[in-house]
Structure 1
Amino acid sequence: MVGSGNLEAALPAGADPRRYARVLAKVHEAALTGEALPSRPRAVIGASWQRMRRLGIDPDRGAERAPLGPDELESRRRESGLAEALPTLRGGLISLAEEAAHIMVVVDAEGRVLWRDGSSQVRRRADGLGFTEGVDWHEEAVGTNAIGTALVARRPMQVYSAEHYVRTHHAWTCAAAPLHDPRDGRLLGVVDLSGPAETVHATTLALVDAVAKLAESQLRTAHLSELERLRAVAVPTLSKVGGRAVVIDPHGWVAAASGLAPVDRVALPSRCAAGRTWLPAYGGCVLEPLPGGWLVRLVDEEHPAPTKVVLDVSAPRQAVLTVSGSAGTWSHNLSPRHAEMLYVLARHPAGRSAAELAADLFGDPARTVTVRAEMSRLRRHFGGILVPRPYRFADDIDLVVVRPDAPELVLPYSSAPGVRG
């Protein structure tokens, strides 16, 4: 399952790097020529190589993609949500990068290199590879690599030597960890340490992951401060509003509520606008803009039952839930974990017990406490769409699942048995 926290180093414990690189080169060549593999690559690497063959990526050159111009690069930096994390990332990694002959690279969620720091010698080598600010370093552009594959797998990745799909990258080692927005779980991008293959070290991945988590923690602290500032506006606003209402930030986090049971967060549509709307958790509502958020006033009307739900997992980067009914249509971008849970339930129309769902998601039927907590959160978000005992989509809903052509492209970041099985 995504977010399991397991770190898998590219170099096996005790392995000689040069000898292991030669083994990987033979495996890589056999995989490309269709010969019998002398040994199997790591599962995450094998899955990535399979995606590259399907995409037709040239193993000698990758795909030609133009870099960003200076103005677009600056715009991406401002809009990425990563600028606030940059001091933490630099503080935790730059000194190591310079000492260990590495460079630190920060990319956005689309794989575009936004910042690059570290060893000047390694930066010059990276220039020769085209590994510069503004370039696209996603799998679809340069094949299997720690940055692009971490964006797909949604977990920390170390890629060494011939695990890279494109041959010109075999002289490199890289370790990357995803960075998420703590406000909505959205993938912001990846931070990476890259260097010559001979500098590979098993602990590099753990360090990069730890610094990424520290940066996310500081982003979370900044968000809590923003929510406190919104709360100062919310309390006097709600005192003047009659009836049931909540004040939320742009991501649905609740600053204050009046006449309603308190919740941490309200699921919002992908696009919010002032005026009449419908939220699965509340039914009919009116949204009014506030400095730093929204005032949500509940309209006294019967909560309309949705009639159709579309779970779209066809795009590997973002799963979307669309709910339709008499009150209109509402779409919401799903977090990776919620996408996993809803997809598993969609595969089992008769429903799953907490133990069955724990086995589906974690491979461990004993993890029922985690499952119940997540399902409670999902049901608060999505109202009457989900029902308990057993957990399932409501019986009167027309459920449609939109899948990609290849089964392995369904939530490719997920290792949940109920998704991959």
Structure 2
Amino acid sequence: MAAARPDPPTARASRGAARRLLLAASWKRAADHRVDPDALPLLELPDDDLASWRREHPLALLLPVVQRLLIDDVEGSGLLVAVGDERGRLLWVEGDREARRRAESMLFVAGAGWAESRVGTSAPGTALELDRGVQVRGPEHFSHLVQEWSCTAVPVHDPADGRLIGVVDITGDDRAAGEQTLPLLRATVAAMEAELALSRTRSPRRVGTGAGAAPGAASSPRTGSRPARRPRAHQTGPATPAPPRLDVLGRDEAVLHAGGTATTLSARHSELLLLLAARPEGWSAEALADAIWGERGAVGTLRPELVRLRHVLEAVAPSLVPTSRPYRLPTGLATDADEVVHLLDRGAHRAALRAATGPLLPGSSAPGVESLRGELARHLGESLRTSASVDVLLQWVATAQGADDEPARRELLRLLPPRSPRRAGLVAGAVGGPAADRDAQRDATSADLP
């Protein structure tokens, strides 16, 4: 087989001129759209919407192809593979772990909008705008936040009618816009489109009808309509009751949900029920008295309160009436604080922050409650600082609970690009912080100076 001949200089010069024209036109469109080159993209698909849109989008069927041809080979390479919908919203971002962490600083994350009209010139957005494969290197990006990256993207079409249904992108260092990257992506997209056509012959009802629509959609996602949800099958027989739940975040008086009703408890009963829920193995009378009043000898005060709590629970949640010796609940009782911990442990940081509506029984001075409150706050802050994306950390420090989290502010100043407009607010917000942190803030401020 004969070796491929290098392109003659005239051909390379011609392609170079075409690229410059393409990029100049893209920058002009970005300016016409009044795109801010220093702004972060917007998260256009929150967690719940993202999960639904992923599930119903035809690209979901093609992920195994992308996994096999691209994602399996990029771990540890410093490269990322992104799959976006026809509006430029990223649905999946996979690849090298450290690159993913760095990319969060420019909000190159699932759910973010990367259409050209939103962020200016970038491979995924401009490929969708022009409906062709595009490579963008470093400073060719319109956004200042992206100019340390290079990328290549190719649009994906519905083979039934040629409509645009999404885009596949490789982002990273200079290799992401190398000579072999564009042919690789074109071959991957061709395999995806072939798989989409083949899937319709295997299971015609599983994929949208030739418009790139999601299953059950009334129209193509291109039109802006959300997919219509399939009606659920009618259930016969009585519905299974939801298990009891205790809401204790952001309120001084807990709300017990049981048997289809919500009961607001007194402050003291809120503390008792929370502590019983937090220790399934139970409490001795002395230990529980100490956790409520800070005095192991307050057993005489504890017992009447437990009698009153039992009367309340007998009326609204008989299954929760506590037993004695030790004092414990006969069945488990979940709390909204447990849900926050579960979400954090699952890595769903944005959902966890949304669920953390406030401190745990903030008005309580019971030692046992204060301990639980502090433990939850520490777990929340540490998890977000260690693993959360930049946008979630920004949301955290803007809350009452995270406003004094100086380590989180320092981590954000480390992660955000030097010219990010978000840095000024972080530095200003830290001026009144502990003296030990001020040197770090001064260093961060100097990074913003010309």
- TM category (shorter chain) comes to 0.3 to 0.5
Instruction: Write 1 or 2 for the structure with the bigger share of helix.
Output: 2
Give the structure, 1 or 2, with the largest relative contact order (CA under 8 Å, sep 6 or more).
1
Between Structure 1 and Structure 2, the one with more strand by share is 1
TM-score under structure 1 length normalisation: 0.44
Which protein is bigger by CA-based radius of gyration? 2
Q: TM-score, normalised by structure 2?
A: 0.41
